[in-house]
Amino acid sequence: MKIDNSTFKAPPLRPTSTPQRAPENTSQAAESVSLSSSAAPLQKAETPPVNATKIKEIKDAIAQGRFQINPEAIADGLLETARDLVNSQRQA
């Protein structure tokens, strides 16, 4: 069945309203950040703390299809992180 569009007229376009502005943050609370003494050497380091050799090995393994994903290790890591977060919230 074919529908004849010759008699169909689209409704006229209505002008759009002016965009609404996002509410401004009226919070006056001051925030501060302090770093531990162990962070100071990392800030002063000229090179980032990465192991370029290990990164290259992983990239090569991925490119060659040799990279094996261990879902159990990933799950264990996620659970351990969750436990740490829960424990740190309890101590705070």
Contact partners, residue 35, CB within 8 Å, separation at least 6: 43
Q: How far apart are the two ends of the chain, measured CA to CA in Å?
A: 69
61 in Cβ contact with 67 (< 8 Å)? yes
The per-residue pLDDT of the chain, averaged, comes to 77
- In three-state secondary structure terms, 53 is helix
**What would the pLDDT profile of 33-72 be if each residue is shown by its tens digit?**
887 887 777 777 666 678 889 999 999 999 999 999 999 9
pLDDT at residue 1 is higher than 50: no
State residue 29's pLDDT score: 65
pLDDT at residue 25 is higher than 80: no
